[in-house]
Every structure is written in C-alpha cells, then in structure tokens.
Chain A
C-alpha cells in the first residue's frame, strides 16, 4: 500500500512542479522566439509560438539603432570596476571592524549598519545634485563613486573575519608583518568563500541596477544595458523582436555567473535573509 501512495505523491509532485516550471520558463521561451521573428510575424492572429521564418535581423537592427556594443561594454566596465571598488573597500573596513580594536569601533560599526535602513531613493536626488556640483554627471566616475560604501558587504565580511582565530594574526605580527601585509596575505585568502559571495552578489546587483545609472548617464555612448533598453522601450515601443533580442543579451552574463557560482549566491542570500 505504501508503494501506491508513494507513486501517487510523486505523480502529483511532478505535475504541479512542471506546471510551475512552465510558468517560470514559458516567458523566456517567448522572449527567445520573439527575438528571432520578422517584424510582420509579431502581429499575426493566432500568434506564432515558433517563428515561421527565423531570422537574426532583430539582433542586427539592435546594433544599428543604438550603440548596443558600447552599452554592453559600459555595463561590463561599470559592473566590474564598481564591484572591485566596493568589495575592496568593504573588506578593508571589515578587517578593522573584525580584528583591530580602537575606541568608538562598535559605535561606528552600528552607524554602518544603520545606513542599511536608508532607502536608495531618498539619496538619489541629493546624490545627483552632488555629482552635478562636482561636474561628474554623465560620467563613469559619477556612477561609480557611491560604490565606495557597501554596508551589507562590510557586515558580511566582518562576521567572517571576526571568526578567524587571532593566533594566525598574532604569529604574523610577531614576525613583524605590517597590517597591510597581514590583510592581503593572510586575511583575504582565509575569507575567500565569503569574498566570492560578496563579489558575485555585488556584481549581479551592479549589472541589473537601473535607477541610479538612469539618472546619472544621459548620453547614449555612456549608457549601461538597462538604461539603453529602457530608452529603446520608449523609442521603439512595438519593435518587440528587437527589444526581446536586447533583453536576451542582457540576461546571458547573469546566467553564466549563476552557473559558476550558484552555491555562493545561495549562501549569500541565506545570510541576507536571516541577518
């Protein structure tokens, strides 16, 4: 009897989970299929689930009407440099908060944490005006500057560094190593998993970020993919084949990053969820 119940449960499991998986994936199928359609195939009734005459024209058109290659470069450049700045800055602060005692440390750390409660949209207008007065609007530097502060990364890395045994560091200090050397040669290698988690999450956040680059970057040559796509969305409202081609290109790097670092991403969000 147990056997029959067991099979029932499995059948029900697969039916429900497959239905949900279709819900999750069908939109992507539609995205891909649309991106390979000719323009006149977009408005047929009934709709074409698969393109009758597949074509790569939407992809070519994308690069014609917009400096899309440039946008890919901008997104990569800003995401990589921004992640580097953010993770380095956060791990340096985390080292101090985790391992070097000084007066006012806990208060300052509390202050770091408290900033996590301030929503980005409260800061975006004044930050825009600050960049404006520094003459840094529409520049890579302007978009990147706020990356120097990463409260969540600092918090996560500090938890990790704090749990490292003091004896490692003491031995190094005995040998006369400087703190900078200890940081780069001992601390960073020891916290590699947490460092990877923070790096991957920061990179994904940067790649997908929209509101901040939308405000700062106004010339087509500087725009990131998200900003460029939203501009195209306004100017080519019904060229869905081209828009979907652009969307696909913007997703590919995220899938690649996820494929290589799934376990780090999930660790990170567990910590984020239960912090």
Chain B
C-alpha cells in the first residue's frame, strides 16, 4: 500500500472515521455504559438519583410479572418457530420448482415483508375483528366458529403469531430458497439412480444440507421473538389481562409511561443477556459449520 507522509495519513484516517466514531461513541458506547449505571439506580427523571445496587434486578426477577412476561414470550416462540419453519420452507420448496410464474410469486410473498409493522399490525387488528373481520367470516364459511382473537386472553397471542407468520414468511422463504438453490444437483441425481422417493430425498438430502440455514432461521427467530414490540403495541397493548405483555413492551411502559428509568434499564439488561446468549450460540455453531464444509 502506498504511504504518503505519515502525519498526513493519520489525519486522513481520522477524517474518514470521524462521522462513524462520533456515532459510535455518543450513541453506542456512552449509552451502553450509561444504561448499566442507570440500572443500578432508582432514577425517575425528576427527583434525586439514588444508588440501589442490584435491587432493580432482584426485584424484577422476584416479580411474578417478569416470569409471566417470559412465559408469554416463550409461548409466542413455541407457536411461531415451528410454524414459520414449515411455512417458509414449504414456500421455498415451491418456489424452487422451475415453473412459469414463479418470479411473480416471489414478489407477491415479499410484499408483506416490505410493509412496516405498524401498518401490518393495524391491518391484522382489523382482519382478526371477531364480528366484522374476514378471518372469522372465512372460518364461518367452513362451519367453524372463530374465537374473539385479540379480545380473548387465550387467543390474543395466537392472533399475533398469525400476523407474524404472514409478515415474515416471505423473508425466511427467500433465505431458504437461496439455501435450496445452493445444493449440488448431483446428490439428487445419485438418489434417483438408487430409486429414492421424494420423501426420502427431502429427509435424507435436503434437510441435512440446509440444516445450517435452518439453525440460522431458528436463532434469528428467537432473537426477534425476545424483541416483539410494534405488533403488541398496536394490536393489544399487552392485553387482555396481560396475556400479550412482552419484554420490550414492559421496558417501554416502565420508561416512558412511569418514568422508572432504573427499573426499565435493568429490565433491558436482562433482555440483553438472553439475546447475547442466543447470538453467541449462533456465532459458535456457525463457525463450526463453516469449518465442516471448508
């Protein structure tokens, strides 16, 4: 690499990095430390700040609310993850057929992904309306009595899952599609000679070969599930009876409705630990796979 005069170079480096460094220091590093400090205090924006040590953390972990919220999040995951895997992998397998019109379908399934969650959540609140919404109208057509969805504490979370599947299937579908397209065709040709069925092809060839992608999709889904927000905020506000309260919704409420900044930041650090663990698992196992294939 060409070197001009040395001082000139460091000035240039600084110049090019300055905008990013400004953002990094003021809006990433400073708040990172600041939020940890706040989580050890009882600050409410108005009165004097008191140091509490780990009290916020202890109070959160001792509250029944925290465990309920965690339970709600896990319930969301248990419904969402298997469904999104089946739907998006199914979608990808379909779009993998060399059939006229598949480009058009690709675009169709991507439109929900382009829609903001705010618009999508408004729409789904209306689609799931118990009496005047088309979902229950369609169920009625098949002789089924649809539930009250977002107004029923047992059905509100499934309703949110329903909306999330609709919104995300195109995104994960395209990720699976690119994994399917990268599979070497000779595997299938060899299997054909051996007389394997389509069923065997899928479970013995396709599934093992796309398992890294599958794993990636699962981890991303877990990370996203911990951070549910707009759909809850707009569709249910956490109700009915707290059945859809989730972590980011709680953090937002404590911080910006009750101004309990200390409690809210402690909550967000607990959330961070969950996400961090999921991310580390992903990075560790991802490296392992890269090694395998290499």
Interface residues of A (CB under 8 A from B): 9-10, 13-14, 16-17, 20-21, 23-28, 30-31, 34, 42-47, 49, 85, 88-90, 92-93, 95-96, 99-102, 108, 111-112, 115, 117-119, 121-130, 145-150, 154, 166, 169-170, 173-174, 179-180, 183, 204, 207-208, 210-211, 215, 225-226, 229-230, 233, 240, 243-244, 246-247, 250-251, 254-255, 258, 262, 266, 269-270, 273-274
Given known A127-B27, A226-B118, contact A45–B131 (CB-CB < 8 A): yes
Q: Is the CB of A101 within 8 A of B118?
A: no
Q: Is the CB of B272 within 8 A of A122?
A: yes
Tell me, in angstroms, the Cα distance from A243 to B279 when the chains sit together.
37
Tell me, in angstroms, the Cα distance from A16 to B112 when the chains sit together.
18
Q: Supply 9 A–B pairs (Cβ within 8 Å), ascending by A.
A: A43-B132, A117-B275, A122-B35, A125-B31, A180-B15, A229-B119, A251-B119, A266-B174, A273-B178
Query: Which listed residue, A34, A92, A258, A269, touches B20 by the CB 8 Å rule?
Result: A92
Name the CB-closest residue of B to A23: B166
**Which A residues lie within 8 Å of B222 (CB)?**
none
Query: Which listed residue, B109, B126, B178, B248, touches A121 by the CB 8 Å rule?
Result: B248
Name the CB-closest residue of A to B22: A148
Given known A121-B248, A123-B27, A126-B34, contact A258–B110 (CB-CB < 8 A): yes
Q: What is the CB-to-nearest-CB distance from B176 to chain A, in angstroms, rounded to a whole number?
A: 10
Name the CB-closest residue of A to B137: A47
7 closest A-B pairs by CB: A149-B23, A148-B23, A126-B31, A89-B19, A208-B116, A247-B119, A126-B34
Tell me, in angstroms, the Cα distance from A121 to B227 when the chains sit together.
8
Sample of 18 further A-B pairs with CB below 8 A, known A117-B275, A247-B119 = A27-B124, A28-B111, A30-B134, A43-B131, A49-B134, A92-B16, A96-B16, A100-B9, A121-B227, A145-B23, A146-B27, A148-B23, A183-B16, A211-B248, A229-B119, A246-B122, A251-B119, A266-B174
**Which A residues lie within 8 Å of B31 (CB)?**
123, 125-127, 130
Given known A125-B261, A125-B264, contact A230–B2 (CB-CB < 8 A): no
Q: What is the CB-to-nearest-CB distance from A81 to chain B, in angstroms, rounded to a whole number?
A: 14
Query: Which listed residue, A118, A154, A180, touches B28 by the CB 8 Å rule?
Result: A118
Q: Is the CB of A92 within 8 A of B117?
A: no
Given known A34-B126, A46-B137, A270-B178, contact A258–B114 (CB-CB < 8 A): yes
Number of interface residues of B (CB under 8 A): 87
Query: Which listed residue, B94, B115, B265, touches A125 by the CB 8 Å rule?
Result: B265
Binds A, one of B72-80, B151-159, B202-210, B228-236: B228-236
Q: Is the CB of A230 within 8 A of B27?
A: no
Interface residues of B (CB under 8 A from A): 1-2, 4, 9-10, 12-13, 15-17, 19-20, 22-24, 26-28, 30-32, 34-35, 38, 45, 87, 90-91, 94-95, 97, 99, 102, 105, 107-112, 114-119, 122-127, 129, 131-134, 137, 166, 169-171, 174-175, 178, 213, 216, 227, 229-230, 233-234, 248, 251-252, 255-256, 261, 264-265, 268-269, 271-272, 275-276, 279
Given known A21-B109, A24-B108, contact A226–B116 (CB-CB < 8 A): yes
The A interface, classified by DSSP as helix, strand, loop or mixed, is helix
Q: Is the CB of A204 within 8 A of B114?
A: yes
Q: Is the CB of B116 within 8 A of A210?
A: yes
Query: Which listed residue, B38, B108, B133, B171, touches A47 by the CB 8 Å rule?
Result: B133
**Which B residues lie within 8 Å of A9 (CB)?**
97
Q: Is the CB of A30 within 8 A of B126?
A: yes
Query: Which listed residue, A47, A96, A225, touches B13 by the CB 8 Å rule?
Result: A96
Q: Is the CB of A254 within 8 A of B115?
A: yes
Query: Which listed residue, A89, A170, A250, touches B119 by the CB 8 Å rule?
Result: A250
Name the CB-closest residue of A to B275: A119
**Which B residues lie within 8 Å of A180 (CB)?**
12, 15
Interface centre among A17, A117, A255, by most chain B C-beta atoms within 10 angstroms, is A17
Q: Is the CB of A115 within 8 A of B28?
A: yes
Tell me, in angstroms, the Cα distance from A115 to B28 when the chains sit together.
7
Tell me, in angstroms, the Cα distance from A117 to B4 when the chains sit together.
36
Q: Is the CB of B166 within 8 A of A100?
A: no
**Which A residues lie within 8 Å of B261 (CB)?**
125, 129
Q: Is the CB of B2 within 8 A of A173?
A: yes
Tell me, in angstroms, the Cα distance from A102 to B117 when the chains sit together.
42
Q: What is the CB-to-nearest-CB distance from B155 to chain A, in angstroms, rounded to a whole number?
A: 18
Tell me, in angstroms, the Cα distance from A232 to B227 when the chains sit together.
23
**Which B residues lie within 8 Å of A240 (CB)?**
126, 129
**Which B residues lie within 8 Å of A85 (CB)?**
19
Q: Is the CB of A89 within 8 A of B23?
A: yes
Query: Which listed residue, B9, B15, B114, B251, touches A255 by the CB 8 Å rule?
Result: B114
